[in-house]
Structure 1
Amino acid sequence: MAVMVTGGAGYIGSHTCVELLEAGYDVVVVDNFDNSHPDVLRRVEEITGRTLFREAGDVRDRTFLEQVLKRHKCDAVMHFAGLKSVAESTEKPLHYYDCNVVGTIRLLEAMRSVDVKKIVFSSSATVYGEPEQLPFNEDHRLAPANTYGRSKLVVEDILRDIHRGNKNWHIAILRYFNPVGAHESGLIGEDPKGIPNNLMPLIAQVASGKREKLMIWGSDYPTRDGTGVRDYIHVEDVAKGHVRALKKLAEPQCLTLNLGSGQGYSVFEVIRAFETVTGQIIPYEIAERRAGDIAEYYADPTQANEILNWTAQKTLSEMCQDMWNWQSKNVV
């Protein structure tokens, strides 16, 4: 089976390409490399010992996508391409809706035109918004608090509408929580341009000396140590979840599933775990809470466990170790 992976040179996309290749799939990566590096794909091939196909282009170019799907006789699509900064989405909402929503519409139009009706979509736990209860299950109210989350929810709604209109579509919507870590080889990992949006890359940059200290935004939350609690999940576990979802789509359906560990860790707990694993001291400064930040956020992964036979396997210590291995070898 040939799978087109949009955004396949990105953080989660590249790790999923590894899992797909190792599972025996043919992989066709579509990426415009705006926020990724072409060399990542060479590293994916080095890890797997297999060759993938590269197609440089934009997901908003329907004609280009149709040509790629036909040329490689693709059977399915994994859709990672898009923008993902919450802060930037607030500053540039039109840009986010154009890339994330319009780009997906163009992709779906291209798929329909060449009769490819199988897609795994990279969504996000941000579609939930402020928790009414914890942990989040898939039936929780959907009320995203920022443009990024709303762009993901719009795409989810489009996919659900497509399936309601045509039951022959095979659709999996995966809402994941906080992917961290890197491939255990240290060859691929998260290398964000500019200031990282997530805690673990910031900690790693402080540990490596690239950043003087970590800013902790709020220590007075109603949590066990006053800092925010999040569900961290190893990126390799997330990637494996995508492959499990693709296999589950043998029959037409529309699945919506959380990918999370089900365990929340505070900022201080992540810092201590990173210090224990690496032997590095992480200097930090406490600052005021940021507007819109939520005290606790973690998943109920029961449905993914039951439907996909998938559970997150890697521990917080392994997440920290793999992140540090990647940071030490690659990021300066």
Structure 2
Amino acid sequence: MSILLTGGAGFIGSHTCLELLQEGYDIVVADNLSNSKPEALKRVQELSGKSLRFYQADLLDREAMDRIFTAHKIEAVIHFAGLKSVEQSVKHPLEYYRTNITGTLILCELMQKHNVKNMVFSSSATIYGNAKRVPIRENEPLQATNPYGRTKLIVEEILRDLSAADPEWSISLLRYFNPTGAHPSGRIGEDPTGLRTNIMPYLTQVAAGHIDILNVFGDDYPTADGTGVRDYIHVVDLARGHVKALQKVIRTTGADAYNLGTGRGYSVLELIDTFERMSGRSVPYQVVNRRPGDVAVSYADPQKASAELDWRAEKTLEDMCADAWRWQSGNPQGYSD
């Protein structure tokens, strides 16, 4: 029996591949490489000493995906594949709806056809929108404020409806907060193609001298230092959360949502200060206007994941910064090196 990872060559997907291989799972990866590189999977296999099967395939290509299900006895799917930039989703909403929603519908139809009814879905804390309370719990009203967030929210509703219609389905909806860091080996990390959507790749590029200055979006929020506060989570902790969720969906049924975060928020300036201490590098920054839709404070209540998945984040902000800098230092041009 194999585990299929859609989008498994990406930042979070590749780290999850490594954790799964180290836990003894047989895995199959489908990725169209639009925002990832096959070198990541090569290094995953080197680090684990184990092999995986890779297919360059797009979720919108029904025939290609069907061949993967036919070729392998799939037990469960971890569904990462999708477009993920808030900014780009505002500019290109149709592309985001087509890729993230239609792709998921095709995947679910093929899973149903091949009697595969276990799924871990890569959702996002963006579906909480401007949450009125922190820490944010899973029962907080959902109110996505951009097309990217709405695609995640719509897919969550689709998967809940699917589970309600067929009680054999088992689905975990994992709501990520702010993934960052890299594998401690420095061999796999975040290497976005084109637009960088997370703060850490910008920060490390500034520290390395590839970008002149880091933009800090707003210093007039009602926080201790005026900058936005976020729940940063180490990508290895996040990957291990997927393993725990997979173990749950294989042994149970139904659909449920879980926050994956540390339960603590750090401001942008705290992140910069910690990174400078851990890297020994200076990170020049400038304060610019707030971005539309950004909230002042957002961090998770992770108690449900702790109680029901036996998962909790273990790595610190110092770990995240040190590992991100180790990745950047060893791979100045990312996987292109």
TM-score normalized by structure 2?
Answer: 0.97
Name the counterpart of 2:14.
Answer: 14
Task: Report the Cα offset of residue 178 of structure 1.
Answer: 0.3
- Contact 1:7-1:81 within 8 A present in 2 as well: yes
Name the counterpart of 2:74.
Answer: 74
Task: Report the Cα offset of residue 200 of structure 1.
Answer: 1.3
- Contact 1:170-1:254 within 8 A present in 2 as well: yes
Gaps of 5+ in 1: none
Name the counterpart of 1:49.
Answer: 49
After the TM superposition, which residues 164-175 of structure 1 pair with which residues of structure 2 at under 5 Å, given as runs? 164-175=164-175
Q: Distance in 2 between matches of 1:288 and 1:155?
A: 32
Alignment deviations for residues 87-143 of structure 1 (CA, whole Å, 9 cap, x no partner):
000000000001100000000000000100011000000011001111110000000
Q: Distance in 1 between matches of 2:300 and 2:259?
A: 7
Q: Distance in 2 between matches of 1:26 and 1:194?
A: 31
Q: Distance in 1 between matches of 2:33 and 2:236?
A: 21
Q: Distance in 1 between matches of 2:104 and 2:290?
A: 34
Matched, 1:152 2:155: no
Name the counterpart of 2:113.
Answer: 113
Matched, 1:320 2:321: yes
Q: Distance in 1 between matches of 2:58 and 2:36?
A: 13
- Contact 2:164-2:254 within 8 A present in 1 as well: no
Alignment deviations for residues 76-97 of structure 1 (CA, whole Å, 9 cap, x no partner):
1000000000000000000000
After the TM superposition, which residues 1-332 of structure 1 pair with which residues of structure 2 at under 5 Å, given as runs? 1-249=1-249, 250-332=251-333
Task: Report the Cα offset of residue 331 of structure 1.
Answer: 2.7
Task: Report the Cα offset of residue 197 of structure 1.
Answer: 1.3
Q: Distance in 2 between matches of 1:231 and 1:300?
A: 10
- Contact 2:127-2:150 within 8 A present in 1 as well: yes
Greater shift, 132-141 or 190-199, is seen at 190-199
Q: Distance in 2 between matches of 1:331 and 1:242?
A: 29
Task: Report the Cα offset of residue 194 of structure 1.
Answer: 2.3
Q: Distance in 2 between matches of 1:135 and 1:169?
A: 30
Q: Distance in 2 between matches of 1:29 and 1:154?
A: 24
- Contact 2:34-2:193 within 8 A present in 1 as well: no
Identity %: 52
Q: Distance in 1 between matches of 2:125 and 2:236?
A: 18
Runs (4+) off by over 3 Å: none
Please, what is the CA RMSD of the aligned residues? 0.8
Letter in 1 for 2:180: V
- Contact 1:66-1:113 within 8 A present in 2 as well: no
Q: Distance in 2 between matches of 1:241 and 1:217?
A: 30
- Contact 2:120-2:173 within 8 A present in 1 as well: yes
- Contact 2:134-2:299 within 8 A present in 1 as well: yes
The secondary structure found in structure 1 opposite 2:323 is helix
Greater shift, 271-280 or 185-194, is seen at 185-194
Task: Report the Cα offset of residue 254 of structure 1.
Answer: 1.1
Q: Distance in 2 between matches of 1:107 and 1:236?
A: 26
Greater shift, 246-255 or 305-314, is seen at 246-255
Gaps of 5+ in 2: none
- Contact 2:6-2:80 within 8 A present in 1 as well: yes
The secondary structure found in structure 2 opposite 1:75 is strand
